[in-house]
Structure 1
């Protein structure tokens, strides 16, 4: 696979579509009143989005349909893995945070990793919406798109689910932990 070209080989595409269909059918509570054939038609018409969905899958995000935008006619996919995607952990929040570290820099940062994948990081509202579909991040945490006023003070926010509640916390944006990653979303 040529990851730089941002397209999948036919067999990779078929495998991804099969995986997405199985997940869609297994988790109907996330997308009541939606039909897989319509979702697949959108995927077939937008092959560049398949590349991003494949990146979400490869890094452990388990993307699934969680909504439909009536205005744009787009399906909305979120990372629905039980824990923060394993292939996207140990990252500080953004480039400025990464550059501010004097030593022990992580491999990358969440904002640039998401952009490279062609996805966006869930914001706080989306993170709370995700939690309506199950219990996510019960052992991990996920960076959440941070409002500028918080980021301007050097912080960033993240969320998790503990004690039957959704918690949104703050941390220095330059921090990174083995159990903190990020969750993304994509419109197709």
Structure 2
């Protein structure tokens, strides 16, 4: 199991608490003490949150699922996380490139981090909490029928509107990364 040291956990909790308190509009009605207790009981989730943080995602609580009693974290960095850009959509796309292959792909990076790419619905939900990806874009989970035809979808915010676009899954750009979600 991937775990952080005590010092790393304490440092991460301080960062997450400060972000939580600074952005109450993202999670009104929720108490930090309850989130912290849940995090401390799930060290593997803390490791994933640290991965989100270390790659520039600025994870924050965006909701609480009362049915499962899980807190929901999304990457809330203003732009697509800097440490997760210039990547294609998935391994199949990466392997299909003959020249100028990117170093990684969104699906495998997310899996390695223990998180999931946002869905289009989650991405739109995130955009109700602020203005994200006004200069960058983010891969989102792509429906199988689109992926089977070689495509993948990504989203951004321009002109105060959330746009959903398509591209070849093997494409990659310096300003395109991915945003993740984690349930704790």
Question: TM-score range, shorter-chain basis?
Answer: over 0.9
TM superposition outliers: structure 1 runs of 4+ over 2 Å: none
Say if 2:83 is the partner of 1:87.
yes
Q: Partner residue of 1:20?
A: 16
**Per-residue CA distance 1:139-178 (angstroms, 9 max, x = gap):** 0000010000110110000000000100000000000000
User: Equivalent of 1:66, from 36, 54, 62?
Assistant: 62
* 1:182, distance to aligned residue in structure 2 (A): 0.2
What runs of 5+ residues in structure 1 fail to find an aligned partner? none
Q: Partner residue of 1:138?
A: 134
> 1: CA distance between counterparts of 2:2 and 2:180?
18
* SS of equivalent residue, structure 1 residue 77: strand
* SS of equivalent residue, structure 2 residue 10: helix
* 1:37, distance to aligned residue in structure 2 (A): 0.2
* SS of equivalent residue, structure 2 residue 139: strand
* 1:6, distance to aligned residue in structure 2 (A): 1.4
CA RMSD between the two structures: 0.5
* SS of equivalent residue, structure 1 residue 133: coil
> 2: CA distance between counterparts of 1:151 and 1:48?
30
What runs of 5+ residues in structure 2 fail to find an aligned partner? none
User: Equivalent of 2:45, from 49, 53, 56?
Assistant: 49
TM-score normalised by the chain length of structure 1: 0.97
